[in-house]
Amino acid sequence: MYENNPEGDIRVEGGVAAWFDNFWYHHKWKTIGALFLAFVLIVCITQCARKEKIDAVVMYAGPYLYTSNETLTVKKELDAVMPSDLNGDGEKIVGLVTYQIMTDEQLEAYKKKLQSYEGQKVTVDTSYFTSQSQNCNSYLLTGECAILLIDESLFQKLKEADRIRKLDEIFPTLPSSAIDEYGLDFTKTALAKNSEQLGKLPAGTVLCLLRPYVMGNVSNKTTYAQITQMFVAMAKD
């Protein structure tokens, strides 16, 4: 039973059940909110604990578009070439980020190819490629990735912006696949020649390494050194 005391508080009589009934009456929504918040925190913590810890990230940006199944195979091919467990968590895991970007010339060739399949004029949504290019440029500013497999047009832009590391800072002798002092012809590497899906990347795909950045993973010296090891493994003749 409830009894009002002189101070205005509620005195509960009738044992634990009555106390709980009174508590629930006055604090029901606070309790529900606290329990919901606790549930969300538990789920988030569990997901973070289960999240794959990526050793290195490789970005592909070019005209080729991998299917979902092909992307899984590419990741396995990259996992296999990783020289060691770089972050020391017991697993070798490479992250893969892809963007389908095309030059005007590549886009025209793409349209003609589609028209040959359809037998009639085909309209291509160019806004998709514009969006992909913008997203790619934004991602390059995050500092989350340094190993790039990119179309030669993007390679030239990054080189002009002084974003790419010189090969002689990494290799005592330039690999035979080097196209200049900054990039490698990926199609001539052992990785491309011996991989089912990575071998599908077209001529003009350049393998290069970004310079350390002011933010993101590549701003950490230890992490960047580990990423460089992966780059060297991918560049083998």
What's the pLDDT tens digit per position in 154-195?
A: 999 999 999 999 999 999 999 999 999 999 999 999 999 999
- Boundary (domain end) residue, out of 18, 33, 50: 50
State the pLDDT at residue 44.
45
Residue 9 or residue 189, greater confidence: 189
Q: What are phi and psi of 116, to 5 degrees?
A: -65, -30
Q: What are phi and psi of 215, to 5 degrees?
A: -150, 170
Residues 92 and 193 in one domain: yes
Is the pLDDT reported for residue 28 higher than 80? no
Q: How confident is the model at residue 43 (pLDDT cuts 50, 70, 90)?
A: very low
- Boundary (domain end) residue, out of 15, 34, 50: 50
What is the number of domains present in the chain?
A: 2
Domain that holds residue 110: 56-234
Q: Which of 71-75, 108-112, 137-141, 177-181 has the lowest mean pLDDT?
A: 108-112
Cα–Cα–Cα angle for 56, 61, 67, nearest 5°?
85
Average pLDDT (72-101) is 89
Residues 42 and 63 in one domain: no
Residues 170 and 75 in one domain: yes
Residue 39 or residue 22, greater confidence: 22
CATH assignment of the domain containing 95? 3.40.190
Q: What are phi and psi of 12, to 5 degrees?
A: -105, 130
Residues 186 and 90 in one domain: yes
Is the pLDDT reported for residue 25 higher than 90? no
Residues 34 and 67 in one domain: no
State the pLDDT at residue 121.
72
**3-class secondary structure, 4:** strand
- How does pLDDT run across 184-229, given as a tens digit for each residue? 999 999 999 999 999 999 999 999 999 998 888 889 999 999 999 9
State the pLDDT at residue 51.
45
Is the pLDDT reported for residue 119 higher than 70? no
Q: Which of 23-37, 138-152, 221-235 has the lowest mean pLDDT?
A: 23-37
Q: How confident is the model at residue 46 (pLDDT cuts 50, 70, 90)?
A: very low
State the pLDDT at residue 64.
94
State the pLDDT at residue 22.
72
Residues 123 and 44 in one domain: no
- How would you class 183 by CB atoms within 10 Å of its CB: exposed for 0-12, middle for 13-18, buried for 19 or more? buried
State the pLDDT at residue 157.
96
Q: Report the percent of the chain where pLDDT is more than 90.
A: 57
DSSP-assigned beta bridge partners for residue 150: 61, 206
Residues 102 and 207 in one domain: yes
